[in-house]
Structure 1
Amino acid sequence: MSTYKTFAIAGVGLIGCPILDALLARNAHVVVLTRSSKSDTLPTGGKYGVVDYNDVSSIAKLLKENQVDVVISTVGQEALGQQQTNLADASKEAGVKLFVPSEFGVPTAGYKAGLLAEKANFNDYLQKIGIPSLRIFNGYFTELVFGLVGYESNKKVNIVEKGTAPISFTAITDIAGYLAHVLTTHPPEKLENKIARLEGDRVSLVDIAALFKTDVEHVTEIDGPHGPLITFLQRLFESGAGSTGWDPVTNSEGPERAGSGNALWEGHQWKRIVDVVKI
């Protein structure tokens, strides 16, 4: 049985809100860290605490007052540097038992340079200051699959490379439910300094076209405001790095294969792409 009783969530966006809902559904005590006290911008439920992410002492004070055991960071890319580091420092000062860093994507363990190294380096920092971590690698959010292939631009699956490498997809609700389940049911020794490699579905970009009975369009880049990022991700996935079992050190599937973390949610029926997204 878990000994974690009180949770703090930093960030109430795409993944933070579902995690909040999942924890509340399990009657957990949750404190949401927010920069604004405007209630009309916040989801219902939980206790809210306004924090300044540049003020470590004030964050630590709030965590101590609420006797927070676990901090879950879902902050965006722009906050992965100093702000998330300040959150870690405050967690250390407050005696937090477990830190869930803002991963929620493809595996980052082992990267030494580039965009994904920032997340890997942060986990190293957690180890340096002595806070156990639980890292969630879930591949790509199932709900965003059409954005990954630029479907809205021409109703086709637009592919930059061959598009044949397998990619792990996991539904946001499954990720949130999984995290709430393991944090409230499993003992710390099963979670501390562990990596949960989740997978709800495993398909290639070419497979996505077949699933939704549409055509493949081979392009040099993806159009749209997020085109450069999506183009980067498609090229990354072509190397195999879209699988949650990927090991960037060996450039192959590692000993802990994709979906190996699913076992901690025994009996759960993981959603496939066709269960979540409809044309």
Structure 2
Amino acid sequence: MAELTTVAVAGASGQLGKPLVSLFIKSGHYSIVRILVRQGTIDKPEFQEYRDRSGVEIVEVDYENPDSVLASLKDIQLVVSCVAKPGQITNQLPLAKAAHTAGVKLFIPSDFGQNFPTYGDPNDRYVNTPVLYGKYAFFKLANEINLPQASFAVGNWMESLITPRGGFDFAARKVTIYGTGEPPVSWAVTNDIARYVDHILRTVPLKEALGKKFRMQGDRQSPNDIVRLWEQKYGEKLEVTYKPISEIHKLLDESEGNNFLASLWNEWANGRGAFPPDEVDNHYFPDWNPKKVVDYI
């Protein structure tokens, strides 16, 4: 999208937003890189490093005030949302409405994760987290108002999930896996996600990007593969505990579906954790060379 040269970013201080903003600035492609910050947060330390950067603007936004949101998008052609927290994901809705009114050429929503084919489906009680419904609400609104948009499905984030929280406690030499552990899972690290998104936004023609979900994959490894890779790399054995899928459903039922991690485990265990090979869009960035799981662990 070489024709888009002004960009506004929401969620610029987050895990993905920060490296993405740095790449936008470093590329020199954008005449304006505007960082949208929530009301009352403009003086936070994480935003101060941008104050003296040429072409970078920091704008405070009151997402409950339509005029404030609309004013924040003046002269902006591209909006990238990296908001992720449950309490902030709904900010995409007033931002989307303002983008439509302002004539923004392309909106990239915060959908940087695994592709959940059934989110928004009231019949799937196991995909019912606030984050997922916040994402679903965006796409529903975007379709209703004909907002020009494209999105990115990036798989599962290694830094967040190949961790004790995700069941991989390598320090304790223990791993917990739900189901058989054999279905493959798509993986990537944050910096590689940012590099891919930045490359796509600067190189793919707008006409080709409109309405497309770009599926990128840094690596494709099952939970059992990760165990084998770790044991081969370090020459030690891990204690692996397998739990039935019914245990995931118990976690989700107890939380009334509001357990994002359990929702991910449910997708992995049921063979929906990886993109079909013929749907992966890595060819858009031939020189990407993303980090592999074996190099991360």
Q: TM-score range by the shorter chain?
A: 0.7 to 0.9
Corresponding residue of 1:127: 143
SS in 1 for 2:283: helix
Structure 1 residues 69 and 108 mapped into 2: Cα distance closer, same or farther (>3 Å)?
farther
Q: C-alpha separation between the residues in 1 aligned to 2:63 and 2:290?
A: 35
Aligned AA (1:125): L
Following superposition, which runs of at least 4 residues in structure 1 exceed 4 angstroms of deviation?
none
Corresponding residue of 2:235: none
Gaps of at least 5 residues in structure 1 are: 246-252
Task: Note if 1:233 corresponds to 2:264.
Answer: yes
The TM-score normalised by the length of structure 1 is 0.85
Task: Note if 1:266 corresponds to 2:275.
Answer: no
SS in 2 for 1:183: helix
Corresponding residue of 2:228: 210
Gaps of at least 5 residues in structure 2 are: 51-55, 232-237, 252-257
Q: C-alpha separation between the residues in 1 aligned to 2:117 and 2:73?
A: 28
Corresponding residue of 1:51: 61
What is the CA deviation profile of residues 8-51 of structure 1, one whole-angstrom value per residue up to 9, with x for unaligned ones? 11112111111111211211331111121114132633321111
Structure 1 residues 133 and 109 mapped into 2: Cα distance closer, same or farther (>3 Å)?
farther
Contact conserved, 1:106 with 1:241, CA < 8 A, in 2? no
**Mean alpha-carbon deviation: is it higher for 98-107 or for 116-125?**
116-125
Task: Note if 1:41 corresponds to 2:7.
Answer: no
Percent pairwise identity: 28
Q: C-alpha separation between the residues in 2 aligned to 1:230 and 1:119?
A: 16
Contact conserved, 2:187 with 2:218, CA < 8 A, in 1? yes
Contact conserved, 1:171 with 1:271, CA < 8 A, in 2? yes
Corresponding residue of 1:61: 71
Task: Report 1:176-215 matches (<5 A).
Answer: 176-213=194-231, 214-215=238-239
The TM-score normalised by the length of structure 2 is 0.80
Corresponding residue of 1:5: 5
What is the CA deviation profile of residues 248-274 of structure 1, one whole-angstrom value per residue up to 9, with x for unaligned ones? xxxxx8xx52xx221111222121112
SS in 1 for 2:270: helix
How far off is 1:229 after superposition? Answer: 3.7
Contact conserved, 1:17 with 1:43, CA < 8 A, in 2? no
The alignment's C-alpha RMSD in Å is 2.4
Aligned residues: 260
Corresponding residue of 1:32: 35
